[in-house]
């Protein structure tokens, strides 16, 4: 799996927003410094730092994640 393929695969994971519990693709969520994911409606309510998928995924090598190889 190339880093691009791993990023694509990770982006299509389903995650629940930690605030409203609605399920989204990871690529549509913000990743917060508490380790949770927040949707577009909730990330502004989170008091810490939250970054959108498009802001952290570009420089992250998802091919190193063991869970992507299952
Ligand atoms: Zn939400």
Distances (CA, A) of 6 to 47, 49, 66: 30, 25, 11
For residue 70, pLDDT over 80 is answered with no
Average pLDDT, stretch 49-66? Answer: 92
Residue pair 16/22 in contact (Cβ under 8 Å)? The answer is: yes
Tokens of 14: 């389903």
The total domain count for the chain is 1
Strand partners, 21: none
Ligand 1 centroid vs 47 CA: distance in angstroms? 14
Percent of the chain residues topping a pLDDT of 90: 84
Ligand 1 centroid vs 16 CA: distance in angstroms? 8
Please give the residue range of the domain that contains residue 45: 3-69
Ligand 1 centroid vs 34 CA: distance in angstroms? 15
Ligand 1 centroid vs 36 CA: distance in angstroms? 11
68 or 12: which leads in pLDDT: 12
Name the pTM for this structure: 0.89
Give per-residue pLDDT as tens, 7-25: 999 999 999 999 999 999 9
Q: What integer pLDDT is reported at residue 45 of this predicted model?
A: 95
Tokens of 53: 């998928």
């Amino acid at each position: 799996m190339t880093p691009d393929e791993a990023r694509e695969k990770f982006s299509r994971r389903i995650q629940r927003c930690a605030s409203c519990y609605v399920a989204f693709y990871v690529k549509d969520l913000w990743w917060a410094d508490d380790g949770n994911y927040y949707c577009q409606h909730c990330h502004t309510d989170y008091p810490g730092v939250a970054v959108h998928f498009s802001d952290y995924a570009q420089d992250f090598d998802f091919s190193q994640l063991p869970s992507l190889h299952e």
